Structure 1
Amino acid sequence: MVMEHVTALECTICGDEYDPDQIIYTCPEHEGVKGILEVKYDYDVIHDIFEADLDGVIDSQWKYEAFLPVHDDAEIITLNEGGTDLFDAPNLSDELGVETLVKDDGRNPTGCFKDRASSIAVTKAKRAGREIITCASTGNAAASLSGYAARGDLDCRIFVPGDAPSGKLTQPLVYGADVLAVDGSYDAAYDLSVEVTEKYGWYNRNAAINPFQVEGKRTVGHELAEQSTARGKIPDWVVFSMGDGCTIAGAWKGFREFYELDYVDDTPKMLGVQAEGASSIHDAFHKHDDVDDVADTLADSIAVGCPRNTIKACRALEESGGTSLLASDTEILEAETLLGHTEGIYTEPAGATSLAGVRRALEEGIIEIGETVVINSTGFGLKDTEGARKATSGVTEIDPSLEEVQNLYSGAEQA
């Protein structure tokens, strides 16, 4: 069967094109994983087969199946990922002084944004006849892929850095994956996952090199375009945290596609936010000479020292007229509790990084009063409770007596 709407895989460096029906991860004309590939489409074909009503009602990302790089005869492996809510955030808006909305992808089936890509990965692997699927992860991709592999009846083998949060590693173990903790950083785990892929032929989900993973992530751009239009207003800014750079690249591609197809009448500027201790994409975008490839941040999901999708991320920032900035770990933790206090949304540190970036962007005059901002929460807070605990005052221990409560709240009104 065919995948006629997908025309080629194009190298982002040299422009060489490859057959999208083969399993290929990077352009062989470049050493290592530098030759990242881009999925190219025939949008006339997509436009002819896309029949969904853009009414703001989105059951899952598969509303946009016409845009997704899967074959007509593929068995779709899904847990109803995507279709996440775009919340008004009035309390946070009052706090920040700008109209703010929150796209909460922590509500995806395994609790993180990466489900959008994992659904594509397992669907592609299963159709290709691969029985084992792998990736490297700091935690979220491991949990996400493991859940979808279980759904698709594939064996899953995950490589994680030795210091990955234990909560995130329990989840893939429950899903039945082999979790291999590498004595080293995420980058060491990543390199090993690529080596075993080349040696054993396991299907590799790593979003930084598997060209089809960004395509699943871009559905968030489709959703934001549709949801914003249904609200009657395209936001001025859409804000994502950045690790490998895949997420912001995909989001921009999806939004831009809807604009170029005249489904929406405008596009937002993209703001990419990195932790100060993992700033490679930011440094590259601003053409800093001292690009640091060390990752040292408590926001483990974006603790990437050597991002593989820097080109796509920087292109998204440039094409959208946006920019990037950094946030400290302290600012990230403060943003995590702020989002919880104001809107009752519990996000992990990487998800809070986008809000930390908005606060800094307001201070620096990048975002102006009167503009509209969409903050993307990319993971549920229970993924990493240790980080959040550092930002709170902790539990108050008391004796089981009314007097103890009265002593605590003696100045408060009685119910």
Structure 2
Amino acid sequence: MAIDHVTTLECTICGREYDPDQVIYTCPEEDGVSGILEVKYDYDVIHDNFDADLDGTIDSQWKYEAFLPVDDEADVVTLNEGGTDLFDAPNLSEELGVETLVKDDGRNPTGCFKDRASSVAVTKAKHAGRDIITCASTGNAAASLSGYAARGGLDCRIFVPGDAPAGKLAQPLVYGADVLAVEGSYDEAYDLSVEVTDEYGWYNRNAAINPFQVEGKRTVGHELAEQSRVRGEIPDWVVFSMGDGCTIAGAWKGFREFYDLDYVEDTPRMLGVQAEGASAIHDAFHDHDDVDDIADTLADSIAVGRPRNTIKACRALEESGGTSLLVEDEEILEAEKLLGSTEGIYTEPAGATPLAGVRRAIEEGIIDTGETVVVNSTGFGLKDTESAKRATGDVMRIDPDIAEVQQRYDVPESAAADD
């Protein structure tokens, strides 16, 4: 059996199991929000097939192909996603007062973390004989899937909310996708994408329901585990923003797998950060009664009012001994500027949200000054330049006269003459 390392798909609610070789999204016995499926593996088979040369050399996420739920005979559709750097951040560390590292997934081929999932989605869709692939997105998944669909020779049809950032929609259009702007929220665009999937049989990449998308995302956990092993230190905290919840769930699953297989000696605690205007997972984790399913935040990539992977996200937080917290939009903008001005890493608002969360966690005593923290930047800043303008203000405008430069920077005349 070519995919014998995948044993079953298990419902996270009722525990029913399903054949992993079929195209199935959620448990038919549960509703579409709750019946999320979990991919289960035979780790003895994975260990036997994995070349555990963990020297920190990671050309792409497909170094971990033995872990990924794809058939051995499938043609992998890849743009060399993954293998992103884990940067030391000395300037940021000094600013925060804790040792901080930055995992920069904005360096993926289409500029976002979601490429890890899109590569798996298009690979599986193509191997299953599907010609059309779809998803709902606020922008990043749309761009990511469109690029990989073009690479794999599939037609791509994307549903986005009407207020999605224009900069993010340029990418899927360049990649040749049909971009359908739904006059409504992300959740309404999502519901429509599921409806057309059921009606027309298009392959659905939505990480919210497609169980294999979390599996692609979990390669970031494998990479962090390997990179931490090479550094000789497991971080105390790994921090992600949360929208639907599948990213932090996947990252924890990947890191925990390496621990369970004795590739690393410890695991970090996971800190999940949400915007105050889109707090459903945080509210569920902390047992809040009043949960608002309306998302209102400038961090569009995590503006999810009805997250489908709440169970997996909360399980990652609980199993790791971690927690979640909320930050305001202004804190996100401040963090975006802080990351750029201290370390030269340009991130979009959702990618800055973890850093905003670290600052809040330090203030609240969740993170101690002697601990090590990994901040995960999940998207490149050019995807949302309007938010960057809000974070920084406009450029300085001057006349073409050196006297204006001298006056602005209070340069002594003698120094100007010497130069």
Higher deviation after alignment, 405-414 or 298-307: 405-414
2:276 matches 1:251: no
AA matched with 2:135 = C
| Matched-pair contact (CA < 8 Å) for 1:88–1:102 | yes
What whole-Å deviation, never above 9, does each CA across 1:305-329 have from its counterpart, x for those lacking one? 0000000000000000000000100
Task: Identify the residue that residue 86 of structure 1 maps to in structure 2.
Answer: 86
Task: Identify the residue that residue 215 of structure 1 maps to in structure 2.
Answer: 215
> RMSD over aligned Cα, in angstroms?
0.8
Aligned to 2:197, what secondary structure does the other structure show? helix
What whole-Å deviation, never above 9, does each CA across 1:312-355 have from its counterpart, x for those lacking one? 00000000000000010000000000000000000000000000
What is the CA–CA distance in structure 2 between the aligned matches of 1:98 and 1:210, rounded to whole Å? 37
Aligned to 1:226, what secondary structure does the other structure show? helix
Task: Identify the residue that residue 318 of structure 1 maps to in structure 2.
Answer: 318
What whole-Å deviation, never above 9, does each CA across 1:132-169 have from its counterpart, x for those lacking one? 00000000000000000000000000000000000000
The 4+ residue runs of structure 1 with deviation greater than 3 A are 411-415
Aligned to 1:384, what secondary structure does the other structure show? helix
Task: Report matched runs for 1:325-404 at 5 Å.
Answer: 325-404=325-404
Aligned to 1:15, what secondary structure does the other structure show? coil
Task: Report matched runs for 1:399-410 at 5 Å.
Answer: 399-410=399-410
Percent identity, aligned pairs only, is 84
User: 1:384, CA displacement in angstroms?
Assistant: 0.2
User: 1:33, CA displacement in angstroms?
Assistant: 3.1
TM-score (norm 2): 0.98
Task: Identify the residue that residue 237 of structure 2 maps to in structure 1.
Answer: 237
What is the CA–CA distance in structure 2 between the aligned matches of 1:403 and 1:236, rounded to whole Å? 51
| Matched-pair contact (CA < 8 Å) for 1:52–1:63 | no
| Matched-pair contact (CA < 8 Å) for 1:218–1:253 | yes
What is the CA–CA distance in structure 1 between the aligned matches of 2:291 and 2:219, rounded to whole Å? 31
AA matched with 2:25 = Y
User: 1:32, CA displacement in angstroms?
Assistant: 2.6
What whole-Å deviation, never above 9, does each CA across 1:185-217 have from its counterpart, x for those lacking one? 000000000000000000000001000000000
Aligned to 2:392, what secondary structure does the other structure show? coil
2:82 matches 1:58: no
Task: Report matched runs for 1:262-273 at 5 Å.
Answer: 262-273=262-273
Aligned to 1:240, what secondary structure does the other structure show? strand
Task: Identify the residue that residue 169 of structure 1 maps to in structure 2.
Answer: 169
Task: Identify the residue that residue 141 of structure 1 maps to in structure 2.
Answer: 141
What is the CA–CA distance in structure 2 between the aligned matches of 1:21 and 1:380, rounded to whole Å? 35
| Structure 1: 5+ residue stretches without partners | none
Task: Identify the residue that residue 123 of structure 2 maps to in structure 1.
Answer: 123
AA matched with 2:47 = H
Task: Identify the residue that residue 226 of structure 1 maps to in structure 2.
Answer: 226
User: 1:393, CA displacement in angstroms?
Assistant: 2.8
Task: Identify the residue that residue 193 of structure 1 maps to in structure 2.
Answer: 193
Q: When the two structures are aligned, how many residues end up with a matched partner? A: 415
TM-score (norm 1): 0.99
Task: Identify the residue that residue 307 of structure 1 maps to in structure 2.
Answer: 307
Task: Identify the residue that residue 73 of structure 1 maps to in structure 2.
Answer: 73
Aligned to 1:181, what secondary structure does the other structure show? strand
User: 1:119, CA displacement in angstroms?
Assistant: 0.1
What is the CA–CA distance in structure 1 between the aligned matches of 2:33 and 2:298, rounded to whole Å? 26
Aligned to 2:277, what secondary structure does the other structure show? coil
| Structure 2: 5+ residue stretches without partners | none
